[in-house]
Amino acid sequence: MGTRGREIVGMNVAELVQILNRAYASEWLAYYQYWLGAKLIKGPMKDAVAAELTLHATEELNHGTLLANRIVQLGGVPVTTPKDWFALSPCKYDAPDDPYVGVLLDQNIAGEQCAITAYKSLMDLTKDKDMVTYNLALTILEQEVEHEEDLQSLKEDLDLLLGRRNG
């Protein structure tokens, strides 16, 4: 715990920790959704899409690491029980029960769009109040924006491959 580091936070630290824990829970769910989807995926372009899903899984886990570190810095405790992830996460978990490539892409695109909304609001909340968390949210947001584009671009390729031109 860093006392001066916490003093310069111009907002309620307990509330901030709670919001960071929500994002932290989402990252674990996103990690698992990607990780398992990459194992189960079926259909055209499955190898290319599986490689991207696996990479995104590792990047989501890294977001979780960054958030856990910030929560600890703020004197908080990252959610200790996976059972709480569903209740805390602002973004839903979409089980890869239908492993068709197009379905997995759509599910993960929706997840990225939820993540983008969540990190944008974390930035709005911390702007001019907590520069460290603001910068962290920006770093993660940049990668979520990249994720959305990666998946939408794969979906576009899949649609072209299947002769659908309007996606």
Contacts to Mg ion by CB under 5 A: 150
Comparing CB distances to Fe ion, the nearer of 130 and 144 is 144
- 98 contact partners, CB below 8 Å, separation of at least 6: 104
Closest approach, Cβ 125 to Mg ion, in A, equals 27
Rg (CA), the chain: 17
Q: In angstroms, rounded to a whole number, what is the distance separating the alpha carbons of residues 142 and 119?
A: 9
The site map against Fe ion for 116-155 (x = CB under 5 A) is: ----------------------------x--x--------
On whether the CB atoms of residues 20 and 76 are closer than 8 A, the answer is yes
Nearer to Mg ion, 18 or 153 (CB): 153
Inter-helix orientation angle 101-126/46-73, to 10°: 20
Q: Quick one: 52 or 144, whose CB is closer to Fe ion?
A: 144
Q: How far is the CB of 7 from Fe ion (least distance, A)?
A: 29
**Contacts with Fe ion in 35-94 (CB under 5 A)?**
60, 63
Nearer to Mg ion, 15 or 142 (CB): 142
- Residue 150 interaction partner, one of Fe ion, Mg ion, none, beta carbon < 5-8 Å per kind: Mg ion
**CA atoms in the 13 A half-sphere facing the CB of 13:** 18
Q: What stretches of the chain show up as alpha helix (H) in DSSP?
A: 3-7, 13-40, 46-73, 85-88, 101-126, 131-161
Binding site for Fe ion (CB under 5 A): 27, 60, 63, 144, 147
